[in-house]
């Protein structure tokens, strides 16, 4: 799709999200071959673990010659840590790299693109650590984002107007329901499935966001992250901790939501949506 496409009519757009666990590492594991085949309209990446000058030229050259604009938001606090990126075939009206929460913003955990029909947020939420030493920061960040979207300007001149409606994608590092991980009973007190974390996802949904994958897929066994130990991925002992949440006003425009568990290169796999405008 060309950069100048802003007045869409029944255009089905594919948005894909993937925690790649290091952009330099994933390039060595077939990432570019996958991208050449998949070619989503918008690709959101989390945990790029690289500064702007450290992103492999082979990737930047290919996306630049194949209709993509590149936007990167690396961590400014620590090298090789965190960071987000977006490659898009649609030129945004504006770009943002912060939500106003200092440490969260400094770690490159959000990248926002404003389009004519919607605003896309690419999030990488902190894990919280197995010892839960970062849990307070994680919960505070969720609380901040819930408040942020409570204040979001959703004034619309008509029920069909979708301008500025937010779409949230990324690694939220929380399995929301028992159906979202293989062994819920064993993980009740573990980071990523504690009740305080799960309640933050409840609060986001109560604002009017829709879990796009659950709109189409009600069954269990669908995960986006697997431990690197004990052959967990081959055994499908996983967690669904990566999401695409769309505003209620956009939910009816969803055509599909998907997870791509057979795509390797990271301990996460890609997921995404097809949405019509």
**Domain chopping of the chain, boundaries:** 12-153+160-276
Q: What's the pLDDT band for 37 if we cut at 50, 70, 90? A: very high
Mean pLDDT of 217-225: 97
Nearest CA to 110 among 92, 123, 96, 119?
123
- For 125-241, strand residue ranges (E) read 165-171, 209-211, 225-226, 238-239
List CB contacts of 209: < 8 A, sequence separation 6 or more: 149, 166, 168, 245, 246, 247, 248
12-153+160-276 belongs to which homologous superfamily? Endonuclease/exonuclease/phosphatase (3.60.10.10)
- Please indicate whether residue 147 is annotated as part of the active site: no
Per-residue pLDDT at 11 = 87
Per-residue pLDDT at 156 = 43
Comparing 7-16, 26-35, 110-119, which segment has the lowest mean pLDDT? 7-16
Tokens of 32: 């570019």
Q: What's the pLDDT band for 253 if we cut at 50, 70, 90? A: very high
Q: What's the pLDDT band for 8 if we cut at 50, 70, 90? A: low
Mean pLDDT of 212-217: 98
Mean pLDDT of 116-130: 93
Burial code of 220-233, b = ≥16 C-beta within 10 A, e = fewer? eebbbbbeeeeebb
Q: What is the pTM of this model?
A: 0.93
* Tally of CB atoms within 10 A around 156: 13
Q: With beta carbons less than 8 A apart as the criterion, state whether 10 and 277 touch.
A: yes
* Catalytically annotated residue among 105, 171, 180, 211: 171
Question: Can you tell me the distance from the alpha carbon of 52 to that of 85, in angstroms, rounded to the nearest whole number?
Answer: 10
Comparing 57-61, 73-77, 152-156, which segment has the lowest mean pLDDT? 152-156
């Amino acid at each position: 799709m060309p950069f100048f496409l802003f007045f869409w009519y029944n255009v089905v757009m594919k948005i894909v999200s993937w925690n790649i666990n290091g952009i330099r590492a994933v390039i060595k594991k077939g990432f570019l071959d996958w991208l050449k085949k998949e070619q989503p309209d918008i690709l959101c990446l989390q945990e790029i673990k690289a500064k702007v000058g450290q992103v492999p030229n082979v990737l930047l050259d290919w996306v630049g010659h194949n209709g993509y604009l590149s936007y990167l938001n690396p961590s400014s606090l620590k090298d090789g840590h965190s960071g987000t990126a977006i490659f898009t075939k649609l030129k945004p009206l504006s770009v943002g790299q912060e939500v106003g929460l200092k440490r969260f913003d400094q770690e490159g955990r959000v990248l926002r693109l404003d389009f004519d029909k919607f605003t896309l947020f690419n999030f990488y939420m902190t894990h919280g650590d197995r010892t839960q030493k970062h849990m307070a920061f994680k919960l505070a960040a969720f609380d901040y984002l819930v408040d942020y979207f409570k204040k979001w300007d959703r004034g619309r001149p008509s029920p069909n107007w979708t301008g500025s409606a937010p779409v949230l994608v990324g690694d939220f590092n929380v399995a929301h329901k028992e159906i979202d991980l293989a062994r819920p009973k064993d993980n009740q007190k573990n980071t990523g499935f504690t009740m305080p974390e799960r309640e933050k996802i409840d609060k986001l949904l109560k604002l009017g966001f829709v879990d796009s994958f659950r709109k189409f897929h009600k069954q269990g066994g669908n995960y986006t992250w697997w431990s690197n130990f004990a052959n967990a991925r081959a055994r499908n002992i996983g967690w669904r901790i990566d999401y695409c949440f769309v505003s209620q006003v956009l939910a009816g425009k969803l055509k599909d939501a998907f997870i791509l568990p057979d795509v390797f290169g990271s301990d996460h796999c890609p997921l995404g949506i097809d949405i019509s405008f």
